[in-house]
Amino acid sequence: MTIELRGINKKYENKVVLDNITLTLREKFSTILGESGCGKTTLLKILAGLVTPDNGEIMLNKNKLFSKSEKVNLRPNQRNLAMVFQDFALWPHMTVFDNVAYSLKGNKEEKAAKVMDALRMVQLEEFAQRRPSELSGGQQQRVSLARALAPRPKVILFDEALSALDAVLREKMQTDIVQLISQTDSQAVFVTHDQHEAMSMSDQIIVMEKGRVSQIGTPKEIYEEPANHYVANFIGKINLLEKDVLIRPEFVHASKGDSKHLHRIFRVLRSQFTGNCYIIHGEVDGNPWLFYSETPFVPGEQCDVYFEEQQLIKIGGY
């Protein structure tokens, strides 16, 4: 499965929301990641056919979904895509069964089979006759997911789909969604502002900044080889060593290293307990730094911190 977006632009009045977006998505699970207002949701809605771009082309397996120059613009229900929304978007007066069946085609028996198959996949077949108000937030999101799965679309689009859930449930749903997508023939495009969500779920991450794509790569590539300072800061925590050289906190230690290790003088500002370790916040050469420790440090004290040269990250890979 290949999704191609070529030269996609979008303005609202005089504000540029998307600036010449060109992407090829082939991975099973792709995530568009960025801060609020970067254009990621607009891009997803353009792919779904809910928003019309000012120009460009969108292809799904060489089939044109949109082309400004050729005047092609398939309606959302013609694109073989499904969407899972942040607010679940369930009909409150309908049962779970009817919500999932709402957009399905075919005779009564065919639709019922597809509905129950989708509900089994999300483990809600026993809740088919309940209404959304009788379900928890997590169960409602599973109904929304079942509704997307039922027509067996080529692509399922997720728009901040887990942000309304509490932290524990969100983490469980991350695992469940990835497993469900792996069991289907569908490809997923997931939009989020949550870096941890993107890193844990994705085969491919597209980092967006102010309507443009800053970097595309695997989670490992994005983390270890950030293309610029924005990506480096947005994906994980950093300690800046020089203008374009940084080291991640997990590679910094207060225990003395050998002669091969580099070191700096670290001034402690505070210790933050996180449950399994302390985050030690401080400064090195006037720059904010942090590292992880099994024990707290006293604010105001100084210590040497050690790290290996091979763990340094050079912005843009120069």
- Asked whether the predicted pLDDT for residue 260 surpasses 80, the reply is no
What's the confidence (pLDDT) of residue 14?
87
Q: Structurally, how many domains does the chain consist of? A: 2
Model confidence over 64-89: pLDDT tens digits?
999 999 999 999 999 999 999 888 88
Rounded Cα–Cα distance for residues 154 and 226 (Å): 31
Task: Give yes or no: residues 17 and 86 share one domain.
Answer: yes
What number of other Cβ atoms are within 10 A of residue 37's Cβ?
Answer: 13
Contact 105, 87 (CB under 8 A): no
For 180-219, write each residue's pLDDT tens digit.
999 999 999 999 999 999 999 999 999 999 999 999 999 9
- Residue 32 pLDDT grade (very low, low, confident, very high; cuts 50, 70, 90): very high
| 269 and 206 both lie in a single domain | no
How does residue 257 score in pLDDT terms, banded at 50, 70 and 90? low
pLDDT of residue 188: 96
Q: How many other CB atoms are found less than 10 A from the CB of residue 13? A: 4
Looking at residues 130-145, what average pLDDT do you find? 92
Helix, strand or coil, per DSSP, at residue 176: helix
> Which one is predicted more confidently, 258 or 181?
181
Same domain, 220 and 248: no
- Confidence class for position 317, pLDDT limits 50, 70, 90: low
Same domain, 31 and 169: yes
State what percent of residues in the chain have pLDDT above 90.
Answer: 83
What is the mean pLDDT of the segment spanning 139-147? 92
More confident residue, 11 or 106: 11
User: Is 256's pLDDT higher than 80?
Assistant: no
| Confidence check: pLDDT of 12 > 70 | yes
Mean pLDDT of 134-154: 92
Q: Which of 45-49, 142-146, 163-167, 245-249 has the lowest mean pLDDT?
A: 163-167
Together in a domain, 177 and 312: no
Q: What is the CATH number of the domain that holds 301?
A: 2.40.50.140
Specify whether 135 is located in the same domain as 159: yes
SS (H, E, C) 159-203: ECCCCCCCHHHHHHHHHHHHHHHHCCCCEEEEEECCHHHHHHHCC
Domain boundary among 189, 224, 259: 224
In the predicted model, what is the mean pLDDT of residues 138-156? 93
CATH number of the domain where residue 74 is located: 3.40.50.300
pLDDT confidence bin for 318, thresholds 50/70/90: low
Please, which residues bridge with residue 29 across strands?
188
Q: DSSP class of residue 43?
A: H
Cβ atoms within 10 A of the Cβ of 213, count? 22
Q: Name the percent of the chain lying above pLDDT 70.
A: 98
Range of the domain at 281: 239-317
Whether the pLDDT of residue 39 is over 90: the answer is yes
Confidence of residue 258 (pLDDT cuts 50, 70, 90): low
- 179, 197, 224 — which closes off a domain? 224
State mean pLDDT over 51-70. 95
Q: Has residue 220 got a pLDDT over 80? A: yes
224, 256, 282: which is the final residue of a domain?
224
Q: What is the pLDDT of residue 169?
A: 86
Q: How many CA atoms lie within 13 A of 70 on its CB side?
A: 12
